[in-house]
Structure 1
Amino acid sequence: MAEQKSIKKRKVALWAIFIIVVLGVAAQLLFTNKVKSALAKDVPAHIHLEYGSLGTNVLLGSITLDSISFDHKEQLFNVQAKQVKVSGLGYWALLTKGNISISDLSLDEPVMVLQNKKRDSIKTPSNSSKKKDSTRIKIENFSINKGQLEVLANQTDSMQLSIQDLNFSVSEIRFDPETAQNKIPFTYNSYELSTQKLYYDMGPYEFLQLDALQFRPEESHITNFVLRSKYSRDELSKKLLKERDHFDLAIHTITLNQFQFGYTTEEPQLHIQEITLQEPYFQVYRDKLLPDDTSHKKLYNQALRDLPLNLQVDTIAIQNGTLTYEERLEYDVDPHSLRFTELSAHINNLHSKNEGKVHVNTEAQLMGDGHFTLDWSFDPQSKANNFLASGTLSDFETESINPFLKTNLRAEVTGTVNQMYFTISGNEVKASGDMKMNYDHFEFVVLKKDRLGVNKLLTAVVNIFARKNSDTDPEGYRYGYFEVERNTDKSFFNYLWINLKAGLLHTVTGSGKKKNN
C-alpha cells in the first residue's frame, strides 16, 4: 500500500515536471515569437533594424540581439553593435499597463554615426498633431561598452566629432508623460563617462582634442587637452580676410569637482564647484599685417552676462602655467614673444546670472625675470561694465624685455624696476589710475627704422623728459597718473596695456610727485 502511494506520488511529480517543462517551452517559444514579431512589425517606419541572431530567456526576461544594425532615417543616425542585451524585463507591467520596466540594457562595442542634418524628404509631425503617449519606461541600468561615436557636420563634410573607446553608464532612468514635458524628457540618478581620443572640429580655423576623459559628477579628469589652430601661422594668414589670433593651448590635466547640469524653467543651468588646470601652455600669435577686426569686443562683464545659460563656477585654479604672445608688424621682421612663466591664478565666483563680483588673482614671472601680480574684479551684472585692477612688478631687469620691444616698438630700455605698483579703475569706455615706481638707471633707446642702429636724436629727445632714477620721494618712488579712452574694437587686455603704458610714461616723464589728497 505504501509502495503504491509512493509510485503515485512519483507519477504526479513527473507529470508536474513534464507540464512545467512543456509550459516553459511553450512560453519560451511564444516569448521568442512575440519578440520576433515586435521587431518585424512594431518598429516605426523611419527606423531600419537588422540583426544576426536572437536569443531569449523567458524566465530571466532577457533578450539578446547579436550583430545589430539600427538606422534612424529621419535623424541620419546609424548604430552597429556587436550585441544589444535586455535583462529583467517586467512582464506584469508590460501586460497589464503597457509600461516597460527593464533591469539592465547594454550595448556592446557600438559604432554610432550621426549626420547632423535631416533629410528633406522626411517630415516630422508638429507637436500639435502628436498624440500624448501614456507609456512609462523604467530602466534601472543602461550602459555602453567600448563604443565609438562619430558626428558628421552634414552629408558631405568631414568629421565634426569623434570619440574612441566610449564607456557610459546611467542608473534609474525614468520616462513618463510628466517628464516628457521637460527640456530633458527623462530623469536619472547617477552616471559615469570615460573616453579615449576625443576630437572636435570647432569650425573653419580651430579644433579641440584630448587623450582621455574620466567623467563623474563628483570628480572628473581630462588628460592632455589641446585647443589649436588647424593651420600654421602663415597658412592661417592666407585664409583670413581680417586679423584673427593663432592659438596653441595645451593643458596637461583638467580636474572638475561637483559638476551639476540641469534646467531652471527654460534656462540651462551649469554649476561647477572647482576647476583645476595643471600646467597650461598657451601661445597666441597675431598677424597685424592683416586688416583690423573692427567689430565691438565685449568686456568680460558683458560676455558673461550674455551667455545663454546660468553659469556658476565657484573656483578656478591655474597651476604652473605659461603664456606667450607675439605680433607680426612687418614682413621682414620676425616677432619676439612677451612671456609669462610660472603662472598661477585663482578665479572666484565666476558667474553669468548670479550676484557678487568675479575676483581674479594671478602671479607670474615676466620674461622669466620680474615677479608680476594682477588682481582684478568685476561684476557681470554691471551694465556699465565697471572693473577694478591692481598689480605689482618687482626685481625686473628691463633688458629681458628688449627683444619684444625691439620688434614691436623699435625701442629698447635699460635699467632695473625695483618695485612698481598700479591701480586701474574703469568701465566700458574710460579708465583712470595711478602708478608708483622705484627704479634705477632707467633709459630709453629709440632704434632706427631697420632696427640695426640707434636713432640718437630721438633717443636724446625722449631721455630729456625721462628721469633715470626714481628719487622723488624719501622712499625712492616716483608717482604717475593717467586717464585713457578705450578702443572698443580691442580686447580687455589691450585696454589694460594702454593704461599701463600711459601710467609708465607719466611716471618716468612727469613731475613724479605724489598728489595731495
Structure 2
Amino acid sequence: MKKKRYLMLFLFMIISIYAVADNYLKDKVADYLKSKEISYTNISMNLFLGNITLNTVFKEKDSLIFKVEKIEVKGVSYYQFIKNNAIRVASLKATNPKINGKVIKNDKPLKSFSKDSVVDLEIGAIYIDNLKIDVLKNNNFPFKVKSINFKVENFKLDSTLSKSIPFSYSNIESSITYLETQYSKFQKVKFSKLTFKERNLSIDSLEIVPLKNKKEYIRFVSEEKELLTLFSKKIIINDLKIEEKEKLSFSSKHILLDEVFFNLYLDATLLEHPNKRKDLYSKKLRDLPFNINVEKLNIVNSQLVYKEYTIKGNKAGVLIFDDLNAEIVNINNKTNKKTKLTTAKITSQFMKASPLEIIWTFDVANKNDNFRIRGGLFHITSKNMSSFLLPTMNVKMDGFIDKMFFDFEGNDSVSNGKLDVDFKNFNIKILDKEKDKKTVLSWLVNLFIKDSSKNGLVKVTVDNLERDKTRSFWNYFWKNIEKGLEKSLI
C-alpha cells in the first residue's frame, strides 16, 4: 500500500515538475516573441518531444506585414542548448505564410556581427508551405508571387561569417507558381511556374512584357534604348550547382531554351545614342563577380525580330531570323579551364527565306578579346534586303545574292577578314523622302559598280576596320559585312 502511495506521489511530482517546466518554457518563448514584437493567438508545447506550435503568427516590420497560419518547430534539443549554447532543431514548418506591404529602402549601414554574436544553428529540414507575396519594392514597382513551396535539408548557419553565402545545406527543393514583377517604368517580367529538384531547374512561360507601346516608351528613357518583348516556352537548367570555395561559382552541364520569341524595337529618331562603352561578350564573362561554367547551352525553335525606326515618316526597318537554333559550348570564365575557346554554332532562316549559318569562337581569358566569326548566307532576295535598308536609309536594292561567305577575325579594337559574294542582276536605288527614285544619283552609283559585281562572284578583303566601342558586337559584325559589300560594289 505504501509503495502505491509512493508511486502516486512520485507521478504527481513528475507531472508537477513537467507542468512547471512547461509553463516556464512557454513564458520564456512568450517573452522572447514579445521582445521581437511577434504576436500569435495560441501556443502549444510538448516538453518531452521538444515540439512548439504557434497559431496565427503576426509581425510588422517597417511597412511590411508578415502573417503565418501555423509555425511548427519539432525536435528541439534542450541538451545542446544548455551544454553548447547551440540550437538544434529536427524540423521547422511554416504553413500559409503571407508577406504584404512595401519594402522601405534602409540607408543605415548594416550592423557588423562578431563571431561570438552569431547563433550556432542547425535545422534538419525547413518547410515553407504555400507562401504568398504581394509587396511594393522600394522603387514602388510591384512584386507578386501566387505560391511558393520550399524545402531545405540539413541547414547549417555559417558561424564564421567567412563566406558570401552564410549557410550550407544538403538539398533544396522548390516550386513557385506565377511570379510577376516590374523592373522599369516600361517593362515587367513574369513566369507561370518554376521548379527546382535534384539540381534541375525548369521555368515555364517566361515573359518580358512591355507596359508602354512603341510610341509611348521613348518618353520613359533618357537615351536611345530598345523596347524588349521576350517569351520562352521552357527553360531547363540541368545539374545546377551554386558553390563557394575560393569564389562564388555557378555551373551547369546543360541549359535549354525552347521556343524563344525575342523582339527588339528601337526608336532612333528622338534620343541620342548613349556614349557608353559596350564590352564584347568575352570581357563581360571575364568580369563577372562570380565563376561560371556552362558546358553546353542550346536555343531551339526560336525567332528573333529586330525593328528600327530611323527616319520620321518611314516605316520601321525589319530584320527577322526564323527557325533560330544555337549551340554554345564551354561558357567558362575560369582561368585554369581545360578548353580555351567558347564556340557558338548558329543556324537560322533570314527573312523566312535565306539560310544563315554562323560559327563564332572567342577565348574569355584573352584580354585582347580576340574572336573569329565565319559562315554563310544564301539565296538573298532584293525584297529581303530592302525590308531594312529602305525604311532606315532610303536605299532600295534590286537583284539577287545567290550566296555570301564571310570570315572575320578581330579584337576589341580592330578587325580584318574576307567576304565572297555571288551577285545576279544587282543594282542600287537611292530614294528621296517621298520614295521617288533619285535617277541621276542612282545612275551614278550603278555606273561605279563593277561589272563583275552585277553578275558573278566577287572576293574582297576587309582591312583594319576600327570598332565603335559604344556599339554592340553584332553592330561590329555588321560593319564588317557592310564594308565588304561596299568594296565588292564600288
The two structures have a TM-score, normalised by structure 1, of: 0.86
Q: Shift in Å at residue 217 of structure 1?
A: 5.2
Please give the residue correspondences for 1:173-188 in structure 2 after superposition, counting only pairs within 5 Å: 173-175=155-157, 177-178=159-160, 180-188=161-169
Q: Shift in Å at residue 419 of structure 1?
A: 1.9
- Counterpart of 2:143, as a letter, is L
Tell me the residue number matched to 2:183. 202
Taking the aligned partners of 1:442 and 1:461, their CA distance within structure 2 comes to: 14
Tell me the residue number matched to 1:220. 201
From 52, 68, 86, the counterpart of 1:81: 68
How many residue pairs align between the two structures?
485
Matched, 1:33 2:23: yes
Q: Shift in Å at residue 468 of structure 1?
A: 6.7
- Counterpart of 1:441, as a letter, is N
Tell me the residue number matched to 2:444. 461
- Counterpart of 1:458, as a letter, is L
Distance 1:134 1:478, change over 3 A: closer
Matched, 1:49 2:33: no
- Counterpart of 1:97, as a letter, is N
Tell me the residue number matched to 2:393. 409
Deviations 1:5-40 (A, max 9, x none): xxx7xx968975x56864664455335423322223
Tell me the residue number matched to 1:272. 252
Tell me the residue number matched to 1:3. none
Taking the aligned partners of 1:176 and 1:251, their CA distance within structure 2 comes to: 37
Matched, 1:248 2:229: yes
CA contact (8 A) 1:443 1:468 kept: no
Which secondary structure does the structure 1 equivalent of 2:188 belong to?
A: strand
Taking the aligned partners of 1:31 and 1:343, their CA distance within structure 2 comes to: 69
Taking the aligned partners of 2:50 and 2:9, their CA distance within structure 1 comes to: 21
- Consecutive unaligned residues of structure 1, counting only runs of 5 or more, are 1-7, 510-517
Matched, 1:102 2:84: no
Tell me the residue number matched to 2:372. 388
Taking the aligned partners of 1:233 and 1:197, their CA distance within structure 2 comes to: 27
Distance 1:389 1:162, change over 3 A: same
If each structure's strand is expressed as a fraction of its own residues, which one has the higher value?
2
Tell me the residue number matched to 2:484. 503
Deviations 1:127-182 (A, max 9, x none): 4xx4704753221110100002345433xx4245332200110001123634x433
- Counterpart of 1:276, as a letter, is L
- Counterpart of 1:461, as a letter, is L
Tell me the residue number matched to 2:50. 61
From 459, 469, 484, the counterpart of 1:479: 459
Distance 1:27 1:78, change over 3 A: farther
- Counterpart of 1:48, as a letter, is E
CA contact (8 A) 2:158 2:168 kept: no
Q: Decide which moves more: 428-437 or 245-254.
A: 428-437
Please give the residue correspondences for 1:307-318 in structure 2 after superposition, counting only pairs within 5 Å: 307-318=288-299
CA contact (8 A) 1:471 1:477 kept: no
- Counterpart of 1:82, as a letter, is E
CA contact (8 A) 1:217 1:260 kept: no
- Counterpart of 1:248, as a letter, is T
- Counterpart of 1:405, as a letter, is L
Tell me the residue number matched to 2:272. 291
Deviations 1:380-417 (A, max 9, x none): 22222221110101123232332322101212223232
Q: Shift in Å at residue 203 of structure 1?
A: 3.5
- Counterpart of 2:355, as a letter, is H
Taking the aligned partners of 1:466 and 1:58, their CA distance within structure 2 comes to: 94
Deviations 1:234-271 (A, max 9, x none): 11112233211111111111000111112233x32211
The two structures have a TM-score, normalised by structure 2, of: 0.91
Distance 1:111 1:14, change over 3 A: farther
Which secondary structure does the structure 1 equivalent of 2:76 belong to?
A: coil
Q: Shift in Å at residue 471 of structure 1?
A: 9.1
- Consecutive unaligned residues of structure 2, counting only runs of 5 or more, are none
- Counterpart of 2:26, as a letter, is K
Taking the aligned partners of 2:405 and 2:48, their CA distance within structure 1 comes to: 78
Tell me the residue number matched to 1:449. 433
